[in-house]
Amino acid sequence: MKKVVIIGGMAAGCKTAARLRRLEPDTEIVIVEKLPFVSFGACGMPFFASGEVESFDDLMSTAWGTVRTPEFFHNAKNVKVLTETTCTKIVPEHNFVEIVDKFGKKSILSYDFLVVATGSKPIEPPFSYPQSERISFFHSPTDAKKFRQLAEQGKISNATIIGGGFVGCELAEAVTSLWGIDVTLIEKENCLLSRSFDPEISNVLYSLFQSNGINVLVNTIVNQIEQKNDTLIVHTSKGNIETDYVFLTLGVKPNVELAEKSGITLGACGGIYVDETLRTNFENLFAAGDCIEINNLVTHKKDVFALGSLANRQGRVVADNIAGLASTFKGAVGSISLKVFDTIFASTGISTSCCYKDSISFSFACASFYDRPHYYPEAKVLFAKALYEKESGRLLGLQMCGKGEVTRYVDIFTVLLERGATYKDLLDVEHCYTPPHSSPLNPLNYLGGIIENQERFGITPVSSVEFEKYRKEWNIVDLRKENEIKEMPLDCEFIHIDYDNWRNEIQKLDLGSRILCVCQKGPRSVEIAIALKHLGAKKVGYLAGGLQMLNSAL
C-alpha cells in the first residue's frame, strides 16, 4: 500500500491529505504536527483575539460544527494525525523521517511520498528584548490565546504593536475595538502595509486608525525593549513608550531549517525550491504552502507569499501529482485584502516600491469614484491606484479601498494580471449592472479609460503624494463649484474656473504655462486637461483621485 507522510497539519498539509483521500481511498496518510491542534484557521486569529469569534474551537470547526480533531480526521477521513509530534530529520535518500512525540519518544516513519508543509515563522526583531509573558508574536494559536486571556482578565490597558504589515494592522483594530485597549502601532517604513500599498491608499488607513484613537508612528525605528516590573519600555527613534503588552509582527519567513539540513534545495528567496508540480529536488518529495517559493507572475521572478489562499490550492496540486494526475501551480500575483473597522483594503500585483526595486518602468492612474450611481442612497466612495508598465501597457497592480465593493474588482484585476493583460483590456471588463449594486461603467472600465486618456493625450497624472511638489511649480486650476471649495478648501494659490462654465472662462489660462487641473474626484480635471491639450497647451496634468483622495476623505 502507498504511504504518504505530511509534515505540518495546517492549510497546505491538511488540504493535501483531504484531496489525496478523495483520489485514493486506500493510501495510508499520516500527518505529523508539532502543535496540539490540527487544521486550524490562522487567518481567523485576529477575530478570536478581538472576541468577535467567541470560541477558539470555531477556528478549527467544519462548516457543520464538528471540531477537526485527530479523531475526526481518523473517523471521517481515515487520515492518521500525530499532534504534539515534531519531525526532527528527513532522510530523503532512504525515504524515512525521524519524529519525536511530546514525551520525548523517538521513532521513524517510512514513506513512498513525503510532503513538507512546515509553513512560515515570525521574523525575529533586530533589537534586543527580554523574555517576557507580555511580549509575543502573533503567529500561533498560543499567542492569540495568551493575549485573549489577559485581555479578558482586564490586565492590559495599553498595547504596542511593532510592525505595520497586514497582521499588525488587523491586530491593531482587534485589540482596540472590543477590549478598549489603547494601541500604538509602530512601522519603520513611511507608510503602513508598504509591501502592498502605496502612500495614496495607505494614508487612508493611517487616517482611519488615527480617527479611531490608534496612535500610529511611521518612519519609526525600535531600538530596544526593556522591562521594569510589569511595565515594558519600548525605546524608539521617536522616544520611549511605556506599555503593558508588546506584539512583534515584523512579518514572516519560510520555515525551512528541517528541509535545508536534509538536503532539500532552497531558492534565492529562502523558500524551498519547487517546480510547477511542487516537486522538490527529490522525485518523491513535494512541498507546499508558506515554506516554498513560487513564480511571481508579474515580476517573473521567484517570490515568497505567505497566504492561506495559495497554501490551500497548492495542497490540491501536490495531492494530484502524488496520485499521478498531471497538475501544476504556475505562480501567483499576491492578492491580499483586509477589513479595518468599516473599510476594506485590497491589493493585487506589485506596488510602486516593488517597481523601483525591480527596475520596472511604470506609470499609474488614481481615481476616486462611487461604487454605484451617486444618486443611489447606499453609494460608497472608493479609491483606487493602478500601475502599468510604461512601454507595453501591461498591468502591474491595483490597490483599492473603501466601504463598498472593493474586493470584487481587485479579484477581477488579479485574473487580468495572471493573463498578462494590458490597460486596454480594462475597458473590456464586463460586469452585472443595476443601480443598487454597481454603476454602468465599473471601476476597472473607468481606470482603463483614464489611462487610455493619459497615454493618448499626453496628460501627466499627479498623485496626492506628489501634489505638494507640483503646487509650487505648476499653475493650479480648481474646477469645482464655489460650495465645494468652501467645504474642502484648497490650501494654495489657484485659478478658479467653474467646470460648468469653463468654455467662457478658459481665457484666464496661459496655455504656455504648466497647468495642473484639480477637482473633487478627478473626472472634471481629466476632461479639461484633454480640452486644454486640444487648445494647444504644452504641459497639462491632473490631480489623480482628486482632492477627495488628497484629503483621504472616504
Ligand X SMILES: Cc1cc2nc3c(=O)[nH]c(=O)nc-3n(C[C@H](O)[C@H](O)[C@H](O)COP(=O)(O)OP(=O)(O)OC[C@H]3O[C@@H](n4cnc5c(N)ncnc54)[C@H](O)[C@@H]3O)c2cc1C
Could you list the residues that contact ligand X (CB under 6 A)? 7-13, 32-35, 42-43, 45-46, 86-87, 117-120, 138-139, 167, 255, 258, 289-290, 306-309, 311
CA separation for the pair 294, 271 (Å, rounded): 8
Measured from the CB atom, is 306 or 516 closer to ligand X? 306
Minimum separation from the CB atom of position 139 to ligand X (A):
5
Measured from the CB atom, is 119 or 522 closer to ligand X? 119
Minimum separation from the CB atom of position 138 to ligand X (A):
5
40 neighbors 10 (Cβ within 8 angstroms): yes
Minimum separation from the CB atom of position 252 to ligand X (A):
7
CA separation for the pair 131, 159 (Å, rounded): 17
346 neighbors 336 (Cβ within 8 angstroms): yes
Measured from the CB atom, is 271 or 523 closer to ligand X? 271
- In the block, cell 477581477 appears at 412
Q: Which secondary-structure segment (H or E) carries 202?
A: helix 199-211
Minimum separation from the CB atom of position 457 to ligand X (A):
40
SS3 at position 227: strand
Measured from the CB atom, is 2 or 89 closer to ligand X? 89
Minimum separation from the CB atom of position 216 to ligand X (A):
19
* CB proximity list for 120: less than 8 A, separation 6 or greater: 139, 252, 253, 254, 255, 290, 291, 306
End-to-end Cα separation, the chain, in angstroms? 60
What angle in degrees, to the nearest 10, is found between the helix axes of 407-418 and 443-457?
Answer: 60
Measured from the CB atom, is 138 or 370 closer to ligand X? 138
CA separation for the pair 31, 115 (Å, rounded): 9
Minimum separation from the CB atom of position 302 to ligand X (A):
17
CA separation for the pair 548, 554 (Å, rounded): 7
Q: 3-class secondary structure for 96-162?
A: EEEEECCCCCEEEEECCEEEECCCEEECCCCCECCCCCCEEECCCHHHHHHHHHHHHCCCCCEEEEE
Minimum separation from the CB atom of position 540 to ligand X (A):
42
Minimum separation from the CB atom of position 505 to ligand X (A):
50
Measured from the CB atom, is 46 or 546 closer to ligand X? 46
Measured from the CB atom, is 179 or 369 closer to ligand X? 179
Minimum separation from the CB atom of position 261 to ligand X (A):
11
Measured from the CB atom, is 345 or 409 closer to ligand X? 345
213 neighbors 191 (Cβ within 8 angstroms): no
Measured from the CB atom, is 46 or 448 closer to ligand X? 46
Cα distances from 444 to residues 70, 263, 387, in angstroms, run 46, 47, 12
